[in-house]
């Protein structure tokens, strides 16, 4: 038919095939699985695999398969039922001990050829899969406190460096900066100049002067404060991400929400206590002097007799070290850690910046100890909550390990780097550990919810039924009311569902219950374009147009309306999408994609089918 070009048929066919292909993975239901990942370098290999298999056999819950994932970092044991999964995870958790993290997971059953073309099923949200959701708030006051205290320290050190005599350097009220008390106007001016030169982020103002007290106020620029607050959040997100990775959850969501909130969602995780333990853990670092020789450390570990001035620690690899009991500097004195390469010999390194207090101590220590070893000790403190006799008992558990041990090459202070790391990966991991070791600012869990997997399955079931019933009713109603054109619209509507699911899967939209509601609403509204077209065609027929002319004019005239109506609707959906919070956003995204796909299916696809049916025939009437 002349008024429907061939390339449009081709487009319709290609798009529909694409839709079917990319929607297909959602037909494969995921399987309950248990995921085992190694802690701190514990090996995940064939030996572990056979061990897991025998443990499962002993516990009488044999897995349908146990396999290493593509990256070779995790072991995945699949089970036939949720009960078997729960039993298996309990058994494995007790038997594998602390070196491995055992987590519940849902394993994809999508065939490899589909995954090869990047066709995956939609990740399911918490409400459909179960899991835990935490809303955390970063204590912004603590951020300001930390920054202002740091500036006070730095100013004190700076004035001492420049030989400017001062009476006191103190913090003002929170957010009001630092006040410096000097002895003369000349000193004050000099101080203002050096502070201004060294710290461009500070605004220096003269304060009151009484007698021989000349006050100088240094406040942090609002821009800088905002920047600091943002970097604090970013750092906290990084830290949390690192900790969540230890949980081995498949699709963790860790994101900043607003100015000072962080959302952590762990779909598939059921144990809040375990999750809280890890994400809420407080970790810190300590720099300590290394004492004695490696051989003496090994001997001490074997005999158990540790010299009185030292304490025995172990590295990540299990090697023993003897470290001084005295701490040189702590993690909270560390302001940044960046991995890179040494400029002289090109080996991977990590450069660290300390605050002035830490720098002073570090300088004193390294001046006296060039050539001697120094170690970085990583300490995590977790709280285990158990219920004993109906009461909550919290027992803190402290893990300490040596993450770096190297000789001091030359004295250093504020900035120094740890050289000679074996690989870039190691360097960036160390930098991450140093940076992420402790949260930049305390976070409070302000919201927490757990959603059971059974409830999730129930939701999926209900959502699926609602989509099918809604779709079915509309299909029937359209077919009855618009006869053949209704049937054509039905085909388009069905493909709209397929295409919507395909696009959502391809861009990885997490499907939630409000998302399903969005799909149902989209289906209901998608038929609108066809209603418009059919009503137009009827009108044209009533006005005496020939059937083919009625179709052509009907489509032409309806298209302008459909465009206007849908553009305004898209704007509304865009508004929903830009709103921060979960359910609203998910719903908005679904609606937005749905409007776009429905414009294609209800206009182009139906036009193609209509042209195919009516094309090249002499028609007396239309079935509309």
Partner 1 sequence: MEIFNHNSNFNFLGLRKFSIGLAVLLMIGAIALIMTRGFNYGQDFLGGVAVQVEYKTPADPGEVRAALENGHLENPLVQAVGGSREFTIRLQPKGDVAAAGNLSNDEAATKVANDIMAALKASRPDVTMKSKSFVGPQVGEELRSDGIVAVIFVIVGIMGYLWIRFEKRFAIAALATEIHDVLVTLGIFALTQREFDLTVLASVLAVVGYSINDKVVVFDRVRELFRSSRNATPEEVLNRSINSTLSRTIITSLFTGITMAALYFIGGPVVHGFAITMLIGILVGTLSSIFVASPILLWLGVSKQDLMPRSKEDPELERRP
Interactions with partner 1, residue window 561-590 (CB under 8 A): 561, 564-569, 571-576, 578-584, 587-588
Q: Does 612 bind partner 1 (CB under 8 A)?
A: no
Per-residue mark of binding to partner 1, 79-118 (x: CB under 8 A): -------x--------------------------------
CA distance 272 to 386: 12
| Count of residues that interact with partner 1, criterion CB under 8 A | 83
Q: Segment 263-292, which members bind partner 1 (CB under 8 A)?
A: 270-271
Q: How far is the CB of 93 from partner 1 (least distance, A)?
A: 13
Please say whether the beta carbons of 179 and 215 come within 8 A: yes
| Contact with partner 1 (CB under 8 A) among 55, 531, 596, 613 | 531
Q: What x/- string results for residues 238 through 257 when contact with partner 1 is judged by CB under 8 A?
A: -------------------x
CA angle 317, 318, 320 (to 5 degrees): 120
Q: Which of 392, 395, 544, 620 binds partner 1 (CB under 8 A)?
A: 392
Could you report how far apart the first and last alpha carbons of the chain are, in Å? Answer: 20
Nearer CB in complex with partner 1: 89/147? 89
Binding partner 1 (rule: CB under 8 A), the pick from 20, 470, 491, 613 is 470
Nearest distance in Å: CB 553, partner 1:
12
Angle subtended at Cα 234 by Cα 231 and Cα 240, rounded to the nearest 5 degrees: 140
Minimum distance of partner 1 from residue 244's CB (angstroms): 19
Residue 458 interacting with partner 1 (CB under 8 A): yes
Report, in Å, the least distance between residue 67 CB and partner 1: 25
- Residue selected from 473, 507, 549, 619 as contacting partner 1 according to rule CB under 8 A: 473
Q: Does 462 bind partner 1 (CB under 8 A)?
A: yes
For residue 565, give the 3-state DSSP assignment. helix
Q: Please report the DSSP string for 94-143 in residue order.
A: HHHGGGEEEEEEEE----HHHHHTT--PPPB-HHHH-EEEEEEEE-HHHH
Q: Whole-angstrom Cα distance, residue 606 to residue 612?
A: 10
Q: Which is nearer to partner 1, 3 or 461 (CB)?
A: 461
Site for partner 1 in 124-163 (CB under 8 A): 127, 135, 137
To partner 1, the closest distance from the beta carbon of 175 in angstroms equals: 18
Within 481-520, the residues that bind partner 1 by CB under 8 A are 481, 483, 513-514, 516-518, 520
Token pair recorded at residue 327: 């701490």
Check residue 523 for interaction with partner 1 (CB under 8 A).
Answer: yes
Is residue 544 a contact partner of residue 620, using CB atoms and an 8 Å limit? no
Q: Interacting stretch for partner 1, rule CB under 8 A, among 147-155, 285-293, 365-373, 522-530?
A: 522-530
Which of 68, 82 has the CB closer to partner 1? 82
| Residues contacting residue 457 through CB under 8 Å, at least 6 positions apart | none
DSSP annotation string for 145-166: HHHHHHHHHHHHHHHHHTT--E
Closest approach of Cβ 232 to partner 1, in Å? Answer: 17
Smallest gap from residue 551 Cβ to partner 1 (A) = 17
Strand partners, 394: 385
| Euclidean distance between CA atoms 287 and 331, whole angstroms | 8
Closest to 106 in 3D by CA, of 119, 92, 89: 89
- 196 forms part of the interface with partner 1 (CB under 8 A): no
Distance, CA of 538 to CA of 608 (rounded, Å): 19
What's the rounded Cα separation, in Å, for the pair 432 and 316?
15
CB nearer to partner 1: pick between 220 and 478 = 478
Pick one of 447, 508, 549, 617: the residue that binds partner 1 (CB under 8 A).
447
Site for partner 1 in 291-350 (CB under 8 A): none
| Residue 507: strand, helix, or coil | coil
Cα 121 from Cα 23, distance rounded (Å): 7
Q: How far is the CB of 524 from partner 1 (least distance, A)?
A: 3
CA dist., res. 64 & res. 58, Å (int): 15
């Amino acid at each position: 038919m002349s008024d429907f070009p061939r390339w449009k048929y081709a487009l319709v066919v290609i798009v529909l095939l694409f839709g079917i292909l990319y929607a297909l993975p959602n037909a494969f239901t995921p399987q309950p699985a248990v995921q085992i990942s190694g802690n701190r370098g514990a090996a995940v290999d064939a030996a572990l695999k056979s061990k897991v298999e025998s443990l499962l056999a002993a516990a009488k819950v044999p897995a349908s398969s146990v396999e290493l994932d593509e990256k070779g970092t995790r072991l995945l044991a699949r089970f036939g039922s949720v009960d078997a999964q729960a039993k298996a995870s309990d058994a494995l958790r007790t038997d594998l001990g602390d070196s491995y993290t055992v987590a519940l997971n849902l394993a994809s059953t999508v065939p490899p050829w589909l995954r090869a073309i990047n066709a995956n099923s939609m990740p399911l949200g918490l409400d459909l899969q179960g899991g835990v959701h935490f809303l955390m708030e970063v204590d912004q006051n603590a951020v300001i406190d930390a920054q202002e205290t740091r500036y006070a320290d730095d100013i004190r050190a700076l004035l001492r460096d420049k030989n400017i005599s001062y009476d006191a350097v103190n913090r003002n009220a929170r957010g009001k900066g630092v006040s410096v008390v000097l002895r003369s106007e000349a000193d004050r001016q000099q101080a203002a100049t050096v502070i201004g030169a060294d710290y461009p982020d500070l605004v220096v103002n003269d304060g009151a002067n009484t007698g021989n007290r000349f006050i100088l106020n240094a406040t942090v620029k609002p821009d800088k404060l905002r920047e600091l607050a943002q970097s604090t959040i970013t750092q906290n997100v990084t830290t949390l991400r690192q900790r969540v990775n230890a949980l081995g959850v498949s699709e963790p969501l860790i994101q900043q929400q607003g100015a000072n909130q962080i959302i952590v969602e762990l779909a598939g995780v059921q144990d809040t206590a375990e999750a809280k333990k890890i994400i809420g853990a407080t970790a810190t670092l300590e720099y300590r002097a290394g004492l004695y020789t490696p051989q003496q450390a090994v001997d001490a570990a074997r005999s158990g007799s540790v010299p009185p001035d030292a304490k025995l620690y172990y590295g990540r690899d299990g090697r023993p070290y003897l470290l001084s009991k005295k701490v040189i500097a702590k993690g909270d004195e560390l302001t940044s850690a960046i991995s890179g390469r040494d400029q002289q010999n090109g080996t991977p390194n990590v450069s660290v910046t300390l605050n002035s207090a830490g720098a002073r101590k570090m300088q004193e220590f390294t001046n006296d100890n060039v050539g001697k070893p120094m170690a970085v000790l990583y300490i995590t403190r977790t709280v285990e909550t158990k219920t004993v006799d109906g009461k909550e008992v919290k027992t803190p558990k402290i893990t300490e390990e040596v993450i770096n041990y190297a000789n001091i090459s030359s004295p250093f202070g504020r900035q120094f780097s740890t050289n000679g790391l074996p690989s870039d990966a190691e360097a960036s991991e160390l930098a991450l550990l140093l940076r992420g070791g402790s949260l930049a600012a305390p976070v409070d869990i302000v919201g927490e919810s757990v959603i059971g997997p059974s409830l999730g399955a129930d939701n999926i079931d209900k959502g699926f039924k609602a989509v099918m019933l809604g779709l079915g009713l509309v299909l029937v109603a359209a077919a009855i009311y618009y006869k053949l054109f209704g049937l054509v619209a039905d085909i388009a509507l069905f493909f709209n569902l397929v295409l919507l699911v395909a696009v959502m899967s391809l861009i990885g939209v997490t499907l939630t219950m409000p998302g399903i509601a969005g799909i149902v609403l989209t289906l209901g509204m998608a038929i609108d374009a066809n209603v418009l077209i059919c009503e137009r065609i009827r009108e044209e027929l009533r006005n005496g147009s020939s059937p083919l002319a009625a179709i052509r004019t009907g489509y032409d005239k309806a298209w302008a309306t459909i465009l206007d109506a849908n553009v305004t609707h898209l704007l509304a959906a865009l508004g929903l999408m830009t709103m921060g919070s979960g359910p609203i956003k998910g719903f908005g995204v679904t609606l937005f994609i749905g409007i776009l796909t429905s414009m294609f299916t209800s206009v182009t696809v139906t036009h193609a089918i209509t042209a195919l049916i009516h094309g090249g025939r002499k028609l007396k009437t239309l079935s509309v």
